[in-house]
Amino acid sequence: MERHIINPNCVALRDGSASFTFIRLKPGLLRVDVRGVDAGQFGTATLDELRMEVMRYQPLELYIHTDDSVSVTVPVAEEWTRFFAQHRTSLKRVWVYAGSKLMNLTVAIAQHRSQTGNLIQIFSDSELFEDALQRALA
């Protein structure tokens, strides 16, 4: 796994064809672009990036964009679920564009199991996701 600091507001994690790109759009607003299959090869690195951002800016509004090739293993999904449950008071809102039916189901399960109510909003339309992000930037 490689960690690249693109600039002070952008960090990329890469392992093979899988990647996470964390982009701080403004203080308290983070976009995460996800590509490929996360089978646990990133260890805690992805959630560590989020934890660091939560320590810097609370409450954090999080926009996660997954493409149609993204999938995660059950243990990885469980770690994300735990993260959302443990940090629900530090998160303003989590917006997720699920690029596939599988990711939509995976995020819906995490939403339910994290017991965070309406904290997590799932989009199956990328235009609606981008519109929500643009409103947050305004």
Q: Residue 74 is part of which domain span? A: 2-137
The residues, any chain, with a CB within 8 Å of residue 116's CB and separated by 6 or more, are: 84, 85, 88
* Local confidence pLDDT in tens for the 138 residues of the chain: 999 999 999 999 999 989 999 999 999 999 999 999 999 999 999 999 999 999 999 999 999 999 877 889 999 999 999 999 999 999 999 999 998 888 889 999 999 999 998 999 999 999 999 999 999 999
Q: How many domains does the chain have?
A: 1
Q: What is the pLDDT of residue 99?
A: 86
* CATH code: domain of residue 8: 3.30.750.24
- Chain centroid to CA 48: 12
Residue 61: how many other CB atoms lie within 10 Å: 18
pTM: 0.93
Q: Is the peptide bond before 59 cis (omega within 30 degrees of 0)?
A: yes
Provide the residue type at 53 as one letter. Answer: E
Dist. CA 96–CA 61, nearest whole Å? 11
The residues, any chain, with a CB within 8 Å of residue 56's CB and separated by 6 or more, are: 27
